[in-house]
Amino acid sequence: MNAPVTGAVARGGAVSRLVAPLQLTKLRLSPLAVVIVLTVAGFFLLPNDLLYAGSSSVVAGLVGLGLFLPIAALRELPLNGAGMAGLAAYLFAYNGSQGGLGHHLLGLAIALVCVTGLSLIGGLAALAVTGLYFVVASLVIQVGIEKVIFSIPVLTGGASGRSVYQPDLSGWFGTQRCIYLVAAVIVFASMYAVHRLLKSRQGFHAVLVGHMPEGASATGLRNWVVKMLVFGVSGVIIGIAGCLSAFVNGTPPPPFSFGIIYSVIFMAIPIASGMRDLSSILLVAIAFVGLPITLEHFSISIPPNLLSGVILLVALLLGRHRDRIGHMFRGVVARLRGGAAELIPEPEMELSGMPVPAGNGAPSPSVLLSELTMVAPPVVTDGSRTRAVGALEGRQITVRFGGVVAVDSVSVRVAPGERVGIVGANGAGKTTLFNALTGFVPSEGTSLLGGEDISSWPPFIRARAGVRRTFQVPRLADILTVGQNVVCGHGRDSAERSERIAWLLDHFGLAAMRDVPVVALPFGVRREVELIRALSVRPQVLMLDEPVSGLEDEEAERLVEVLLGLQAKEGWGLLVIEHDLKFITSISQHLMVMEDGHLVAQGPIDTVLQEDEVRRVYLGETVTV
């Protein structure tokens, strides 16, 4: 009885070690603080003629912010930021130049709709092609805007351009100060909105879809919707930035300013900022856009390319070595105070959630196994109306990869409350069978859930219907924390769901790791996190692919107890692939043995393990005939 308690305490110690480096020092030079100070100081201190530099900087920062979303969340590099901003600027000016608030609002609406539409086209491209192919696809959009749309003189206004309304003010709060204020307020509001989005479940979903699409599908997420949402938001932000650029300049800049070169530079801004937090993007943009204008104002002539190159390089180095520089800074301040540097690096990421508060490294309250049988978590469903109830069944499942038959006419059935294990050597086809049943690979044969044919259902629909699974290599978003990963998935964010997740985290001894980025966790713990995510809603059938590989014996025993206890309460079916004989015999009622894509034997576990063929295939024993 005491073993799990000991395990929890031991894990608590490990947690302390993991969490310790994440604790914050009191002394911290936050990029956000720097940005706010610079912006506010700029508003009060900058002379009228330099406020333009400030306004232009924040607008460039807003374009960078728009591009940050697909880069950070979906890991796609769009090369069409400048073109979209330019299109927004021209559409806004086209309507705005006709005068009146109504025309300006109409221009803003048209610009946002068109640019968001274009961004969604980019999103559609990202559904078909990814990585460098997406870079080229976005380049195609950029070239299309630049060479085709910008060559329409009616839109761009020709050489004279079109004028956009600017307030006519004089004195200290003059025109430029007013424009600066408007631009800064809009940019900070957008930054706050993006920050909130990234901290919301929708934001976690976007990151999961971008980093582990299979993992996202396995939780019931409709990946294409999430991707389109990210591109849509990105388009709105870039659209606003484009309109602002016309407003700041009084007329849209010439088409050259929205060319491919600027697209490359806009894309470089968020990357060079280190991709760690949103405020750094604004800092890089201020350096990149504001500095040259300011230097020019003071008649300091530095070649623009030299300045741009040096700024990008410095931003890159600062972004990359931010922790080291921060530590050096803290060390210097500490020495000045006569003490030693307090603490170390701070691997906080914008996408990894809130930093861990001091003292949270303590082990979670230990849980006795007896509690498991007494208290069960709330039963949460994901709210899908298509939910079927009953057994998961695969009939004559066959999977072919070209000429190779990876699974050959295998039938499997897991009824509610039943526990079935699958064993076999590497390459036997176990995981491929899992992939076929969950819809991740095309297969022949029929898959049924509660008697309903689900063969044509994509993975996310099967997940929503209750076919939940884990993978051999956990499909988690590394840059998210444990807590952020486990809340990902289809369904409403209810109090019951939160309670269930908290219960699961507690019973797996991971409560204290809730705010630790997954990237910092050992392999075995990642498996448990993925399992908790799969169990965050009540499944119909839970499918686990080698759940105890990487776990200590103690942890494996605990896993068995938690799974058995929960299954007894909720009555779902369990299908497990595992090489660990001790685990498989302790958890399975029925056993299937596979070899080279075929089913060699199946039946009650005791009977199957006695068969000579099974002993040969699975245990490697020489059978004397």
Partner 1 sequence: MALFVSALIIGVFLGTIYGLMAFGMVASYRISRVVNLGQAGIAALGATVYYWMTAQWGAPVIVSLIGAILVGALVGGFMGWCNLLMADWPKGFVMIFTLCVTLLLFAYVDHILPPTTIAPVSPFGTGGFNFALTFVAAHQIGTFAVTLLVVTAATMLIRYTRFGLFVRAIYDDPAGAATLGIPLSIYVIGVWAMAGGMAGLAGILISNRTLLDTVLLLFVSVYALAGAVLGGLESFALAFGGGVLLGTTEGILGGGVLGQMPPGTEALGTVVIMAIAVFYAGTKRRHLAHLQT
Task: Tell which positions 317-376 bind partner 1, by CB under 8 A.
Answer: 319-320
User: No. of H helices and E strands in the chain?
Assistant: 26, 10
Residue pointed to by tokens 């969340």: 73
Q: How far is the CB of 431 from partner 1 (least distance, A)?
A: 11
Residue pointed to by tokens 């999977």: 399
Asked if residue 244 lies in contact with residue 226, where contact means CB atoms within 8 angstroms, the answer is no
| Closer CB to partner 1, 288 or 508, in the complex | 288
Instruction: Output the CA angle 518-63-304, nearest 5 degrees.
Output: 110
The verdict on 520 binding partner 1 (CB under 8 A) reads no
Task: Tell which positions 127-146 bind partner 1, by CB under 8 A.
Answer: 128-130, 132-137, 139-140, 143-144
Instruction: Output the CA angle 471-473-474, nearest 5 degrees.
Output: 70
**Angle between helices 278-285 and 175-199 in degrees, nearest 10:** 150
The sign of the torsion formed by the CA atoms of 617, 405, 573, 201 equals positive
| Closer CB to partner 1, 55 or 217, in the complex | 217
Pick from 3, 9, 225, 261 the residue near partner 1 by CB under 8 A. Answer: 261
Q: Two tokens at 248?
A: 């700041």
Query: 170-209 mask for partner 1 (x: CB under 8 A)?
Result: ----------------------------------------
Number of Cβ atoms within 10 Å of the Cβ of 256: 12
Q: How far is the CB of 559 from partner 1 (least distance, A)?
A: 27
Number of Cβ atoms within 10 Å of the Cβ of 328: 12
Number of Cβ atoms within 10 Å of the Cβ of 621: 11
SS3 467: strand
Q: How far is the CB of 251 from partner 1 (least distance, A)?
A: 21
Q: How far is the CB of 4 from partner 1 (least distance, A)?
A: 37
What Cα–Cα distance (Å) separates residue 464 from each residue in 220, 385, 491, 493? 5, 9, 8, 15
Q: How many residues bind partner 1 (CB under 8 A)?
A: 46
| Closer CB to partner 1, 94 or 150, in the complex | 150
Rounded Cα–Cα distance for residues 277 and 300 (Å) = 32
Query: 457-496 mask for partner 1 (x: CB under 8 A)?
Result: ----------------------------------------
Pick from 170, 299, 305, 456 the residue near partner 1 by CB under 8 A. Answer: 305
The verdict on 401 binding partner 1 (CB under 8 A) reads yes
Q: How far is the CB of 140 from partner 1 (least distance, A)?
A: 5
Query: 265-304 mask for partner 1 (x: CB under 8 A)?
Result: ---x--xx------------------------------xx
**Among 86, 607, 536, 64, which residue's Cα sits nearest to residue 284?**
64
Q: Two tokens at 510?
A: 């991971």
Q: How far is the CB of 96 from partner 1 (least distance, A)?
A: 23
Pick from 148, 154, 159, 495 the residue near partner 1 by CB under 8 A. Answer: 148
Q: How far is the CB of 327 from partner 1 (least distance, A)?
A: 18
The verdict on 260 binding partner 1 (CB under 8 A) reads yes
Residue 594 backbone phi and psi in degrees, to 5: -115, 150
Q: Which residues contact 473 (CB under 8 A, 6 or more apart)?
A: none
| Closer CB to partner 1, 46 or 284, in the complex | 284
Q: How far is the CB of 303 from partner 1 (least distance, A)?
A: 4
The sign of the torsion formed by the CA atoms of 63, 64, 67, 73 equals negative
Rounded Cα–Cα distance for residues 603 and 533 (Å) = 30
- Residues engaged in binding partner 1 (CB under 8 A): 71, 77, 79, 125, 128-130, 132-137, 139-140, 143-144, 147-153, 260-261, 264, 268, 271-272, 303-310, 312-313, 316, 319-320, 401-402, 441
